[in-house]
Amino acid sequence: MRLLKGIKNSLILDDTYNASPQAVHEALDVLESLPATRRIAVLGDMAEIGKFTEYAHRAVGDKVAKFADILFVVGARARFIADEAAIRGIERKSRKLEKNQIFIFDDAREAGKKLDEIIKPGDLILVKGSQSMRMEKIVKEVIAKPQRAGELLVRQDKNWK
């Protein structure tokens, strides 16, 4: 996990190397614990968890609905996160995470472009997902100095690009 300066005076918690259920929950703990104007969780699929796939993703959705202001999900499995967060947001009427604050994407680049549009000063943004989701593409879209991506982000060598 790296703390990076983002566009529009935001901060990014770049944890895009990989994702397991425990690692995602711990990253969400960090997002929740830090001061911010808004907390944005950008979460991709957690791969290779077999029969626990739906349960693990829904558990993340339950957790993120308790404190996030905005949720982005990327990938087919991550839709379970969005679904559970929407259900929990409705049940916890006092919660800030409304259904219209949940965005669903199939592709990391698409998510990055939308994130670029909505970022405001003071936002704290967690970006995390399994390696196969290529979540670092989202971070590259919104870091303050994208020209330094090669030294700041994972998977920037020619083989990955």
pLDDT at 94: 47
Summarised one tens digit per residue, pLDDT across range 121-160 is 999 999 999 988 889 889 989 998 877 766 776 655 556 5
Reported as type and span, the H/E element at residue 77 is none
Superfamily the domain 2-152 falls into:
Mur ligase, C-terminal domain (3.90.190.20)
Least confident of 1-10, 71-80, 95-104, 133-142: 95-104
How many helices (H) and strands (E) in the chain? 6, 6
pLDDT at 112: 96
**Torsion angle of the four alpha carbons 53, 56, 59, 65, in this order, in degrees rounded to the nearest 10:** -70
151/130 Cα distance (integer angstroms): 20
85/105 Cα distance (integer angstroms): 15
56/150 Cα distance (integer angstroms): 32
Q: Which of 20, 10, 47 is nearest to 126 (CA)?
A: 10
108-114-116 Cα angle (round to 5):
100
- Residue 157 is classified by DSSP as S
Residues sharing a CB contact under 8 Å with residue 158, sequence separation 6 or more, in sequence order = none
Task: Compute how many other C-beta atoms are within 10 angstroms of the C-beta atom of residue 49.
Answer: 17
Summarised one tens digit per residue, pLDDT across range 95-123 is 567 788 999 999 999 999 999 999 999 99
Strands of the sheet containing 38-44, edge to edge, are 2-6, 10-15, 123-128, 38-44, 70-74, 102-105
For the entire predicted model, the pTM comes to 0.91
